[in-house]
Amino acid sequence: MIQDMTVGVGALAVGAGLLEATVRTATPLAYAALGESVSERAGVINIGLEGSIIAGALSATIAAGAIGVGGGFAAGAGAGLLVSALFALFAVGLRADQIITGTAITLFALGLTGTVYRTVYGSGGVALTTPTAATHALPFLSSLPVIGHAFFAQPLATYALYLIAPVLAWWMQRTHAGLALRAVGEYPEAAIAAGISPRRTQLMAVLFAGAMAGLAGATLVLAQAGTFVEGMSAGRGFIAIAIVVLGRWRPLGVAAAALLFGAATSLQTLFQSMGWTGIPYQLFLAVPYLLTLMVLAVTGTRATRRVV
């Protein structure tokens, strides 16, 4: 009996820890995916999202070291917005191919951030000297069993998402601006007939997505990793696009899908800690990316069946 109780308590602790890691890991993904959902609703797929994330991460690192954590988040959002403005110039303003433009922007941002990082910090890097966001436990809610510490003992960046997702869902469905956004993405001719400028709407949507991706990068550094590493975005921009598809372009669905991908990332860490020596650790690292491919493959198959 005592042994069974011990096993049960241990399993509960592991589950609570996994849930906490899931929420922490899902936070930057949710920021990027919620911004991308707005961009895609306007008819623009921002493949350059990865570039905004890495730019936001480096800018947040530099600014946080100089003026504090709050300034780091602001700088991250600003850097992400600037990268997305460059993407919008070609993809929205000049009507260049979105995939090619986004890929070029991502490669440019990855190379530029690596160069700036080595210029600012030298070969030694930033190490663990970056200030990080403090965790704030909400009274009563943080003491709830299992979910309390996971959802209600988090940095302010995570709590902000609890407001952003439902407000964004309400804005898309219940406001004239949200209707105009969806009209531009789904029925641009009708939007033009109603006096809505598709280019202006798409520009604002892409800039919003870039700022959110920059916040994702800032959150990755200031509320999760605690430091900057070259290429640390590690495909999160592409994962965010898959999250948008899985969430059916609805903010609340996107937030839930981000938790799923956060759980996949946390599981690969848990699997490695179990000491399964017979399985290459690279297979565990691939779990989030395999899930991304599965989501895109299944969604693509369904779309093809609908067309046929």
pLDDT digits 0-9 by tens, 201-244: 999 999 999 999 999 999 999 988 788 888 888 888 988 998 99
What's the rounded mean pLDDT across residues 272-286?
Answer: 60
Per-residue pLDDT averaged across 242-255, rounded?
Answer: 90
* Average pLDDT of the residues of the chain: 83
What pLDDT digit, counting tens, does each position of 29-82 carry? 999 999 999 999 999 999 999 999 999 999 999 998 888 888 999 999 999 999
Query: pTM of the entire structure?
Result: 0.85
DSSP the chain: -HHHHHHHHHHHHHHHHHHHHHHHHHHHHHHHHHHHHHHHHTT---TTHHHHHHHHHHHHHHHHHHH-HHHHHHHHHHHHHHHHHHHHIIIIIS---HHHHHHHHHHHHHHHHHHHHHHHHTTT--TT-S--PPEEEPTTGGGSTTHHHHHHEEEHHHHHHHHHHHHHHHHHHHSHHHHHHHHHHH-HHHHHHTT--HHHHHHHHHHHHHHHHHHHHHHHIIIIISS--TTTTTTHHHHHHHHHHHTTT-HHHHHHHHHHHHHHHHHHHHHHHTT-TTS-HHHHHTHHHHHHHHHHHHHHHHHHHHH-
Mean pLDDT of 144-148: 79
